[in-house]
A and B are shown apart, each in its own frame.
Chain A
Amino acid sequence: MLTVNALRAWGANVDEALVRCLNNENFYVMLVGKAIKDPQFEKLKEACEAGDLEQGFEAAHSLKGMMANLALTPILQPVEKITELLRARTETDYAPLVEEILEQRRRLAEQL
């Protein structure tokens, strides 16, 4: 079961996120549970694999807002990087960053 302590151990900035969630731990944990199942992760992966940088940017941008609000730092950091690259429509290999994002998500999902 996902707990605040587990999130903290994983690397989330729990204190910052809890301020936003009115110090309601259950609410925060519930939102994290929803966030890691968000379809934008799959959209990001598919768009990057297909070279659709516009769709990739939409998905990354969306994830960035969510991860930032929940202070899920280990995912937020690579998401911020990929968002800026995609915003500039940079032609590069996105696979390593996508993999890092999905790996952090897998690690977090294991806590569930």
Chain B
Amino acid sequence: MTEPAMMKGIPGTRDEGRKRLVLIVEDDFVNREILKANLEAEYEILCAGAGDVALKMIVEHSETLSLVLLDLNLPGMKGLDLLREIKKDMDLSRIPVIVLTSDTESEVDSLLSGASDFIPKPYPRQEIVLARIRRSIELSENRDLIRWTERDHLTGLYNREYFYRYVDQYDTWHPDEGTDAVVLDVSRFHVINERFGKAYGDEILRRIGAELYAIVHEKGGIACRREADTFQVYCPHMTDYASLAERVTAAACQEAAGRVRIRIGVCTCADKASDTERRFDRAKSAADSIRNSYTESVAIYNDDLRRKEMHAGRLMDDFQNALAQKQFIVYYQPKYRVQSPEPVLGGAEALVRWKHPELGMVSPGDFIPLFERTGLIRELDNYVWREAGAQIRRWKDQFGISIPVSVNVSRIDMLDPELTETLCGVVKENGLEFSDLHLEITESAYTEDSERIIQVVSGLRKLGFRIEMDDFGSGYSSLNMIIKLPFDLLKLDMGFIRYAFSPEGDTGILAIMMQIARYLSVPMIAEGVETEEQMLKLKELGCDIVQGYYFSRPVPAEEFEKFIKTGGNEAC
């Protein structure tokens, strides 16, 4: 709802003194004229003689209409049907409706369908009619003012703070009802905003809001916009959330199926003794657990997720100690140049491992995504850069050669204003060349805040750092965009290797990727190469550098030295 509609005619606002607009929906001339005569000194009057005409007028004047007086016995669309149409629409439902009826039976139906009040026929005297109308409008305007503070202004749903209060209220009055805490997220919403603009993104959010409003109107419950592209619903227990996901997805984007993907996390039959926000945090965890799945749209919070959360919490708690005690160990995986008759060591990738005193070796798959989400990755990356810098120095001193080491630079590092200074510090403190340190930046990082990232990366490249575009082919860059990005090497996404050498795959796609690298005049690195067959094929296709278990798994620095001693050296 927009501000002008909310503030219309409220005493003390800019509209003071203007007549409020009232719509009389009545097909009988006599009744209509009597009512009009009774009201026109105080109100601006619109009249409609049929339900469908009235609905059009209500939609047209939804921003300014203060009240609808509705006869139930209309030709065509009946009064009660019109009332239900008004009440199920989020924008129209704010307009109070007073029903005009000569039947006491209809009064109950009307009130249950959302009427604010009723005026009997024959009409009572003018003072009574006016008093009832004034009271309904006043109540509605007061409610509008409250709504303005408790609603999210884009979607019209509750905002998060008020939502939790209404959930508590709901529980108070439905203590024995099984209820679900539901979180809905739009997958990769930032990409929609980026591709189609913020106005279109907002429109998608509005549509989702309207559909959720309709759903809780039908099934009971409460809905809110939690933040950005995340919504919450508290409702009686349901079993079929896949249909709900489909319904909201369809409503969000009718013009291009598949453009919007909704994922739902549910904390079912929420334990009412537990804190309200926690129930929704659990539902959010469930929704996040399928963030990267393109086949699942619903996740239910369960013991497995709970264990994972507890584990994640433990890792977060232990992080600072682990840094201080150097529990993080940098491993090195060799990269070989393969276009020479014999493979030649070209460098290494630094990969962090966590040797936890109680949990043993913690898988990077457990902690890297977690630290990326929580921002701790910045401290960890800094640690790895320092460790790798020192190791390059040691190898220089020990063997008299430079082994370039590539390190990961996460998305969040790009936002660090001290990034360049920190990386330069690593180079200077260890007396390295800038080209000794390769920076791996994932392709999708470029698409998120392209201009800023391009500026930062270009600056680093000018200094002499070598830039590897990691996971090439998995992001959303157009070829047109790739040409403009600053990088020195392309690192093929592992998915291509897996696909190309799977039973149903073929290596044609690899050939195309190699052609792109050649066109851009940059070397191509293939990682995740496990067999001789894969290595030879990549070599044949013109791949320059290969990394993977075929040559070696990532190993501690001391173990890596054997590759330096035996593998020749030609820095890549």
A interacts with B: yes
Contacts A24-B37, A34-B29 given; indicate if A65 touches B102 (C-beta within 8 A): yes
For B122, give its contact among A24, A61, A68 (CB under 8 Å).
A68
- Give the residues in chain A near B103, CB-CB below 8 Å: 61
Contacts of B38 in A (CB 8 A): 20, 22
Complex CA gap A21/B34 in Å reads 6
CA–CA, A35 and B30, complex, Å = 7
Knowing A61-B102, A65-B31, A66-B31 touch, does A71 contact B37 (C-beta < 8 A)?
no
From A19, A22, A38, A65, B73 is in contact (CB under 8 Å) with: A65
Residues 35-93 of B contacting A (Cβ, < 8 Å): 37-38, 71, 73
A45 at the interface (CB under 8 A from B): no
Asked if A62 lies at the interface with its beta carbon under 8 angstroms from chain B, I say: yes
* Complex CA distance for A27 and B37, rounded to whole angstroms: 9
CB distance from A67 to the nearest CB of B (A): 9
Tell which of A19, A24, A66 touches B30, judged by Cβ atoms closer than 8 Å: A66
A20's contact among B29, B71, B122, by CB below 8 Å, is which? Answer: B122
Cβ contact within 8 Å between A31 and B33: yes
Total interface residues in chain B, CB < 8 Å:
19
Q: Which residues of B contact A64 (CB under 8 A)?
A: 102, 121
> Which B residue sits closest to A64, measured CB to CB?
B102
Within 8 A of A (CB), among B171-230: none
Cβ-defined contact, B37 with A69, below 8 A: no
**B30 to A22, Cβ gap below 8 A?**
no
| Distance in Å: Cβ of B213 to nearest Cβ of chain A | 34
Specify which of A21, A34, A62 lies most central, judged by the most chain B CB atoms within 10 Å of its CB: A62
Q: Is the CB of B37 within 8 A of A22?
A: yes
- Report yes or no: A66 in contact with B28, Cβ–Cβ below 8 A: yes
Does A69 contact B122, Cβ atoms closer than 8 Å? yes
Chain A residues numbered 54-112 whose CB sits less than 8 Å from any CB in chain B: 58, 61-62, 64-66, 68-71
Tell me the smallest distance from the CB of B485 to a CB of chain A, in Å: 72
Q: Which of A24, A38, A69 contacts B123 (CB 8 A)?
A: A69
A60 → B minimal CB distance (Å): 10
Q: Which residue of B lies closest to A32 (CB)?
A: B30
> How long is the Cα–Cα vector from A21 to B30 in the complex, in angstroms?
11
Interface centre among B34, B71, B73 (most CB of A within 10 A): B34
Distance between Cα atoms of A27 and B40 in the complex (Å): 15
Count A-B pairs with CB separation below 8 Å. Answer: 58
A61/B73 in contact, CB under 8 A: yes
Is B125 at the interface (CB under 8 A from chain A)? yes
Q: Mark B121-149, 1 if CB is under 8 A from A, else 0.
A: 11101100000000000000000000000
Contact (Cβ within 8 A) A69 B121: yes
Least Cβ–Cβ distance between B482 and chain A, in angstroms: 70
Q: Which residues of B contact A34 (CB under 8 A)?
A: 29-30
Whether the Cβ atoms of B37 and A21 lie closer than 8 Å is: yes
Q: Shortest Cβ distance from A58 into chain B, in angstroms? A: 7
Whole-angstrom distance between the Cβ of B124 and the nearest chain A Cβ: 8
A19 and B28 within 8 A (CB): no
Closest to B101 in A: A65
Contact present for A69 and B73 (CB under 8 Å): no
Residue of A nearest to B102 (CB): A65
Closest chain-A Cβ to B572's Cβ sits at a distance in Å of: 87
Query: Smallest distance from the beta carbon of B176 to chain A beta carbons, Å?
Result: 40
**Distance to closest chain B CB from A34 (angstroms):** 6
Is A20 a contact of B34 with CB atoms below 8 Å? Answer: yes
Do B28 and A71 touch (CB < 8 A)?
no
Task: Tell whether, in the assembled complex, residue B28 and residue A31 are in contact, meaning their CB atoms are under 8 Å apart.
Answer: no
Q: Which residue of B lies closest to A30 (CB)?
A: B33
A66 to B37, CA, bound (A): 15
In the complex, the chain A residue whose C-beta lies closest to that of B129 is: A20
Cα distance, A32 to B247, chains bound together (Å): 53
Instruction: Identify the closest chain A residue to B41 (Cβ).
Output: A22
Give the distance to chain B from A69, nearest Cβ to Cβ, in Å: 5
Expressed in whole angstroms, the Cα–Cα distance for A24 and B37 within the complex equals 10
Q: Name the interface residues of A11-41: CB closer than 8 Å to any CB of B.
A: 16, 19-22, 24, 27, 31, 34-35, 38
CB pair B123–A20 under 8 Å, yes or no, is yes
Minimal Cβ-Cβ distance residue in B for A24: B37
Cα-based distance from A66 to B122 in the complex (angstroms): 8
Q: Which 4 A-B pairs have the closest CB atoms?
A: A68-B122, A65-B121, A66-B30, A69-B122
Additional A-B contacts beyond A22-B126, A31-B34 (8; CB < 8 A)? A22-B38, A38-B30, A61-B102, A64-B121, A65-B73, A65-B102, A69-B123, A71-B122
16 pairs from A and B in contact (CB 8 Å cutoff): A19-B125, A20-B123, A27-B33, A31-B30, A31-B34, A35-B30, A38-B29, A64-B102, A64-B121, A65-B28, A65-B73, A65-B102, A65-B122, A68-B102, A69-B30, A69-B121
